[in-house]
Amino acid sequence: MNNKLTKHLSSGHATCQGCGIPAIVRHVLGATDEPVIVANATGCLEVTTTIYPYTAWKVPYVHSVFGNAAATASGIDAAQKALERKGYFKKSAKGGSALGRKAKIVVFGGDGGTYDIGLQSLSGALERGHDFLYVCYDNEGYMNTGGQRSGATPYGANTETAPAGETSFGKAQQRKDLMEIVNAHGIKYLAQTNVAYVNDLKKKAKKALETPGPSFLLVLQPCTQLWKFPTSEYVAVGKLATETNFWPLYEIEDGKYTINNIQKNPKPIEEFLKTQGRFKHLFADKNKKVISDIQNTVNANLEKLVKKAQNS
């Protein structure tokens, strides 16, 4: 594998075949030449890269529990600021190189550790203005623990704790709008992106890492195991999420919304849903109204986003 791609995260980890999480990590961390420190909430990334006594990480790395990855990053930021006050990052008296270099702090968490269990510590860290980038790799469920529904799971999806059956069509609630929750904290930069669009991911990661204070990336990460599609298809499935406007690519910078990938002729939502076993029950006659409801929600959400972009 390309040495540049494995500079921060080596090959030989245990993520599932066809998983996009390593690509997210490598492209985010590869967007800066500065030293980095990683805080990682419990989840798929953590359990597959730190199987004792081995690690795939080539950077300073802290494993946090589900709920406190952003709090861990807050502590690292406070420690660096204390070192800065003591002159640790200043030039030497002889005019040589800096005694030390401040590191970029990057948090990785899944949707379970971000939308739900870790939301409180994330909110606190954003409100206090700590200098870090939080990256949520969103595979829309608790995949590390068997595929339970999370706050990110889409309406109508079949999961272990919201199963489709005779009396249920799957999850009956809409997913949380995490971008708007984060945006409500007034941070300078946040963006929604997709592992299937790595150029967009890299561009946004670079911008986020260069933004002082807290920044946030929400990255769609199709899960081959629990979404139930062939392992070779994660890029194709991810692209369909954006091509149907289920997952638009956009950013919010100083309150201004910019849509990065306008779908002039979007594909119908069925094109995305039919690729995945978690939605196959929706194509039964009794559930087809659910597909119509999903399409209407996608259309309404896009209309809101377009208005925000026009008015900002």
What's the mean pLDDT in 68-97? 86
Q: What is the distance, to the nearest Å, from the Cα of residue 229 to the centroid of all Cα atoms in its chain?
A: 20
As a whole-number percent, the residues of the chain with pLDDT over 70 amount to 96
Task: Mark 239-251 as b/e (b = at least 16 C-beta within 10 Å).
Answer: bbbbbbbbbbbbb
Tens of pLDDT along 136-164? 999 999 998 999 999 999 999 999 999 99
- Residue 98 has a pLDDT of 60
Instruction: State pTM to two decimals.
Output: 0.96
What string of DSSP letters covers the chain? --TTTTSSB-S---PPTT--HHHHHHHHHTT-SS-EEEEEESSHHHHHH--TT---B-S-EEEE-TT-HHHHHHHHHHHHHHHHHTTTTSBPTTS-SBS--PPEEEEEEESIIIIITTHHHHHHHHHHT-S-EEEEEE-SSBGGGT-B--TTPPTT---SSS-BSSS-BS--SPPP-HHHHHHTTT-SEEEEEETT-HHHHHHHHHHHHTSSS-EEEEEE---HHHHT--GGGHHHHHHHHHHTTSS--EEEETTEEEESS--SSPPPHHHHHTT-GGGGGGGSGGGHHHHHHHHHHHHHHHHHHHHHHHH-
- Residue 13 has a pLDDT of 92
Quote the CA–CA distance of 204 and 208 in Å, as a whole number: 6
The alpha carbons of the chain give a radius of gyration, in whole angstroms, of 20
- Extract the tokens encoding 254: 């100083």
Whether cis (ω within 30° of 0) applies to the bond prior to 212 is: no
- Residue 174 has a pLDDT of 97
What's the mean pLDDT in 30-51? 96
What's the mean pLDDT in 297-304? 98
Task: Mark 122-137 as b/e (b = at least 16 C-beta within 10 Å).
Answer: beebbeeebbbbbbbb
Write the single-letter amino acid at 23. A
What's the mean pLDDT in 298-305? 98
Cα distance between the two ends of the chain: 43
- Extract the tokens encoding 95: 């005019």
What's the mean pLDDT in 95-102? 70
As a whole-number percent, the residues of the chain with pLDDT over 90 amount to 91
Quote the CA–CA distance of 119 and 111 in Å, as a whole number: 10
Tens of pLDDT along 200-250? 999 999 999 999 999 999 999 999 999 999 999 999 999 999 999 999 999
Domains of the chain are 21-311 (3.40.50.970)
Flag whether pLDDT at 20 surpasses 80.
Answer: yes
What's the mean pLDDT in 72-96? 85
| CB contact at 8 A, 250 and 305 | yes
Of 237, 120, 136, 246, the closest CA to residue 185 belongs to 120
Flag whether pLDDT at 259 surpasses 60.
Answer: yes
Flag whether pLDDT at 43 surpasses 90.
Answer: yes
Quote the CA–CA distance of 229 and 220 in Å, as a whole number: 15
- Residue 96 has a pLDDT of 57
At residue 87 the predicted structure's pLDDT band, cuts being 50, 70 and 90, is confident
